[in-house]
Structure formats: structure tokens, C-alpha cells
Amino acid sequence: MVLIPNSNEEKDEIMKQLKDSGAVCVIAGAEQLETVKTAIDEMKLFSQDAIKLITLNMGKVNINSEGTVLFSDMVSDYVNSSELSVLRRKHSNPDDLAFLPYSSGTTGLPKGVMLSNKSVLRNLLQIGISEITPFTETAGQHQEVLPAIIPFYHIYGLTLLMTQSLIFGSKIVTLPKFEPKLLLDTLKFQQCSILYFVPPLLLFLGSNEKVTSDYFKHVHTIVSGAAPMGESDIQRLFDKIPVHNRISYVQGYGLTEASPVVTYPHKGNNNYSTVGSPLPNTMLKVIDVENGKSLGPNQGGEICLKGPQVMLGYLNNITATASVIDKNGWLQTGDLGHYDEKGLFYITERIKELIKVKGFQVPPAELEEVLRSMPGIKDAGVFGMPDKKSGEVPIAFIVKSTKALSASDVKEFMFKKVAPFKQLSDVVFVETIPKSGSGKILRREMLKIYKDSKRN
């Protein structure tokens, strides 16, 4: 079983995961080494079990800690491999844990999501059918090439990007972090053919003036995931690259608790707003968030799913598991959406991210898409601020692309675009929008920044 911590996490967060999972070994790169070492050292105060640390620094850093091993030493030609013969092969079965990513789920603190060998494998088979997969197996002179900028500790990068590429014998070009020139050079000179991206990366490609069709000569498929992507946002990119008529764009939907894919558009789909239809052997329903009753087409509610890719449960947390998986095996996703008469699904927002204005539900993602359509706005993030009169009010953080843009300009634009209860209470101009490694907007962090600025 592999524990998959976020490389951006701090010492206390790593310690919580080590305690909860019972991990016996940690593999860390240069960036996380000191933080992980500190977490392991402090763990000794709570446990007598030693945790081994393997570092991928390849000898670039001085290692003095007891129990720390260099990966370069483990794969050295001088290793006595004959000693490995004493190791006993562990007998496994399909229900054994394969991965243990941590997710906050629909509520609360991060919890260990128990994904079995069976659930992960079945999900890979579900997305590997010919009607869906963008991959062609490696043969002769052909090989798919994928840039890997989505972190592998995220379930999206782990399964769709890395594991699926290995199955088809594809080439993965890893990028340590997002750098505009590095990404564009990789697309062009590595002749990338499939792009598994998140909305912020596609927004960059659509707004950066240096991006031209030259970078997409070999691309045949663009996949967006991890967060909703507005149709107007992807259209902005395709307006810049005339080759888009030969590029398929799909937006899938999934969550860590489902290994992760739940829905995916079939080939030939030209509806950029939909996340597609349920995968084979997967059942979906939309329920009223107040009474739990099933809803019909074009009625918004919480999406629930049932299928072979659903997790075993949350590690060491029966209560949390029971709160999201009912006695009939239906997983409540915490995501709001609906389906149309064709059975295509659409994702609106996370339940916990909805802004409640005088009882009305305001999805931040909807306002963000409208804001990004305004000339002079490069990026936007919206969150709810507690308000005595309205319950909550929408606040927007905005990254400008035009210096002359003012808050009053933005509010006037929104006045013509959205309903009165969706109007912005305040507009704040910032350098960047806080986002996670997978591209999700960190609304709680924006709220904290906003509150701190008001105190000062």
C-alpha cells in the first residue's frame, strides 16, 4: 500500500498522515526532505517504531540522520543483490489496499481514502474502452507523448496520467513545476500529443499572447479535470489556435473516493460544458440536498454514484465513511450538478463552496467564468464572506491584464451579466489567485487573506 502525501504539506500535516496510516517508510525529494525529517524525528515521541526515510537527492545533500538512505545507494552497482533472495513475496488479493491518498472529502479534515487494487484496476479498465480513451498503443514509430505537470501525488496525475500512460507504453515528460517557457518548449519540442491539464493551465494557454498553434501541431486531445472549466474559457484557447478542429477537448469528472473517474465524454463530443456520461457499470443519480429525493433531468442537486471504482472507505474512520456511503452503497460526492435529456452530466460546484446570499445559492465557479470573460481580467477567484444582513456575500480576487481596470468597472460589468443576488460585494486586485497543486482555487485561504487585510 502506498501513502501519497501532498508535497506542499507542512510538518504537522505529514505527522497526522504518518500516525493515521502507520507508514513505515517515506520517500522524499529535495524540496520536502527537511520537513519530512523533522516530522519523522517528532514522531519518535509518540511511537517506538522507526520510520525509514529514502531521499531522492541522489547524493546532492549531506545525509546524517539515522535511518536515512540515499536512493542512489539503493540502485548502485555495488549493492549485493543476492541478499534480496531472503525476502518473502507478499501474497495479495484484489481487495488489498493499493493507494492511500488523503482527501477532505465532502466535509472535515483530510482522511485516508482506501483505494484497493480492484477499484483502481477497474477504473483504469473503465476509461480504457475504445469509445473513451485518447490513447493508441505504442507500435512501430508511433508513441503518445504526455507532459506531466499534474503532480503524481494527486489522484488525477497518479492514475489518468502516470498509470494509464504506462499501460499504453506512452512517453511521459515530467516537469518539476509550472514555468511558462518550459511548458511551451515541452509541448513543441517533445511533440506532445495528449494533454492532461487542470483549468489554470488551460486559462494560461488561452490568455498568454505567446501561445500559438505552433505549440499544438502534434496535440490531438486535451483533457481537463480536477475542477470545473467553463465553455467560454476553453473557447478562448481554441479561438487562438486554428488547428482546434482536429483537437478533441474533453472535461471529465471524478473524485479521489472513486479512484477517481466517474463520468467521461465519448469521442466526437462537441459539447464543451458537459463532463460526459457515466462510465460502464457506474450508476449516477441526482438528489435534492434538503430531502434526499431523486431528481429528474435539468434539476440541480447533489450527485451520488455507485460503481466498482468506489473506495473501500476512510481509513480508521467508520463514522466518516458512513456519512458518505449509505447502506445501499451509494456514495454522496458533495458535488452539485444535473443531467440533461441525453444523460450527459454537468458539474456546478462543491456543496461546501456554495455562497448562500439571502437563502439563494451562488456557485463561485459561475461568477469566476463570467469574470474571466471580461476584457482586462487575466484570472479570478470568488469566495463567500460572512455578512449579518445577507448571510454571505460574494467577494472577488482578480488578477488584471490591463492596469486601467478598476473595481467599479468590474462591478458594472457584472451588473449586466448576473442576477442581483449574485452581485459582487467587493473586488480586490491581487498578483495571483491562491490555488492547490491540482489547480483548485483555495477559497478558505482567500477568505483568510481578505479578513486579515480588513483587520489591518
> Which residues, in sequence order, are bridge partners of residue 426?
395
Q: In degrees, to the nearest 5, what angle opens at C-alpha 202 toward C-alphas 429 and 238? A: 115
Q: What is the pLDDT of residue 66?
A: 64
DSSP label at residue 279: P
Please name each of the domains of the chain with its CATH number. 2-88 (no CATH), 111-349 (3.40.50.12780), 355-455 (3.30.300.30)
| One pLDDT digit (tens) per residue for the chain, 456 residues | 566 666 667 788 788 888 888 888 888 887 788 888 888 888 877 777 778 888 876 545 555 556 688 888 888 888 887 777 777 777 789 999 999 998 866 545 678 999 999 999 999 999 999 999 999 999 999 999 999 998 888 899 999 999 999 999 999 999 988 899 999 999 999 999 999 998 889 989 998 889 999 999 999 999 998 878 888 889 889 988 876 678 999 999 999 999 999 999 999 999 999 999 999 999 999 999 889 999 999 999 999 999 999 999 999 999 999 999 999 999 999 999 999 999 999 998 878 788 888 867 788 888 998 999 999 999 999 999 998 888 899 999 999 999 999 999 999 999 988 888 899 999 999 999 998 877 788 898 999 999 999 887
C-alpha cell at 315: 481509513
Distance CA 327, CA 208 (A): 49
The answer to whether the CB of 263 falls within 8 A of the CB of 345 is yes
Residue 261 pairs in a beta bridge with 254
Q: Whole-model pTM?
A: 0.81
Q: What number of other Cβ atoms are within 10 A of residue 292's Cβ?
A: 12
pLDDT of res. 11: 81
Residues near 73 by Cβ (< 8 Å), separated by ≥ 6? 79
pLDDT of residue 309: 98
Spell out the residues 6+ positions from residue 310 whose beta carbon is closer than 8 angstroms to its own.
119, 257, 258, 259, 325, 329, 331
Q: What's the pLDDT score for residue 258?
A: 97
